[in-house]
Amino acid sequence: MLYFFHFLFPTLRYQTFRGVCAVLLAFIISWLFGEKFISWMKSYQKNGQPIRDDGPQRHLSEKTGTPTMGGLLILGSVTFTTILLSNLSVISIWLVLLIMWGYGGIGLFDDLHKLKTNDYHGFLVKQKFVLQLGLGALSSIGIAFLTDQNIYFPFFKNMVVHLPLLLFIMWGCIVIIGSTNAVNLTDGLDGLAIFPVMMASFSLAAIAYVVGHAVFSKYLLLPHIPNVGELVIFLGAWMGASLGFLWYNAPPARIFMGDTGSLAAGASLGATALLIKHEITWSIIGAIFVIEALSVIIQVVYFKRTKKRIFLMAPLHHHFEQIGLKESTIVIRFWIIAVLLSLISLASLKLR
């Protein structure tokens, strides 16, 4: 919105400036309203988020009563900041906001169902998947009309695969649905998921800026996508809102972001990766999320076939808990890995 006043303030023309402002503003909103939001959630949620009864037993005593749906604080901060600082004539901005709130809405419905029934599992998996699939298909169609239908591979400058529309929609569904559920599975310890989300937002913002810049994209042999640089503001808002939320979500967490936040975060990052044509690079940036999701899939498939377990408990972070590592140790080590993955992904831009 403020972009349209760039004739009065020329610095508003620059996506980098507005991106930095987005980080700061979203952080201030998320941090400033955090206390009141937590108090409000506590008054609304008498018992807090239901805790997984088949998970680590210490969670039942240490995390019971902690309010959930903190994702609303994040989404509100991201939305306000993005609308205020973005060039609203760019359609991709509206698309990612709609995708974010669409999946956030699915998560919100799930969180409310958990609170109402006091059941950790929420509503039926099939129902949730059908909603995710339908929204993923619509999102992929929108993305297909805004970008080309190519898949670009990192490290190879001429390796491009063009997909017909139907296959691209299927590919988009895999990326978005896979991302949203992978982040959701990772969100099992205090601060575990939100920091990697913040680092992923940073990496994707850097890539979005380069891809949206004609000179830089040509120099680095990347596909140039006009106007996609505006996603820097959206991703900057995610960085700032995540950082502000981490203030209250750091161990010991005073609030959880719930499915409202984790589903919205995964969908936002996955959709952004599709728009900037870096889905494969996104799998490197979000390798923590990928590994966490794979640990669950492997555990379930192996157990159904052999009645034995590969991991002591899935997702992977619970396995580390079961072997005796402290929660804070696991979380900080995952944070370190998230930083390294971001650096590797950015280095891959030059290695072609």
DSSP string for residues in 164-187: -HHHHHHHHHHHHHHHHHHHHHHT
pLDDT value, residue 127: 86
pLDDT value, residue 121: 61
Angle between the 165-186 and 91-117 helix axes, to the nearest 10 degrees? 50
In a domain, 11, yes or no: yes
What confidence tens digit (pLDDT) does each residue in 244-284 have? Answer: 999 999 988 999 999 999 999 999 999 999 999 999 999 99
pLDDT cut 70: percent of the chain above it? 91
In a domain, 197, yes or no: yes
Give dist(CA 252, CA 249) in Å, integer.
Answer: 7
pLDDT value, residue 159: 83
pTM over 0.85: yes
Give dist(CA 182, CA 312) in Å, integer.
Answer: 19
Give dist(CA 13, CA 3) in Å, integer.
Answer: 7
pLDDT value, residue 57: 54
- Domain residues for the domain of 236 are 2-347
Residues in the chain where the model's pLDDT stays below 70 = 1, 3, 6-7, 46-63, 119-124, 352
Give dist(CA 230, CA 87) in Å, integer.
Answer: 7
pLDDT value, residue 238: 98
Q: Provide φ and ψ at 188, rounded to 5°.
A: -125, -10
Count of domains forming the chain: 1
Which are the contacts of 187, defined by CB distance < 8 A and separation ≥ 6?
193, 194, 256, 257, 261, 262
State the Cα torsion 154-159-162-166 to the nearest 10°: -50
pLDDT value, residue 157: 73
pLDDT value, residue 350: 83
Give dist(CA 73, CA 349) in Å, integer.
Answer: 33
Quick count: other Cβ atoms within 10 Å of Cβ 124?
10
Give dist(CA 109, CA 180) in Å, integer.
Answer: 15
In a domain, 352, yes or no: no
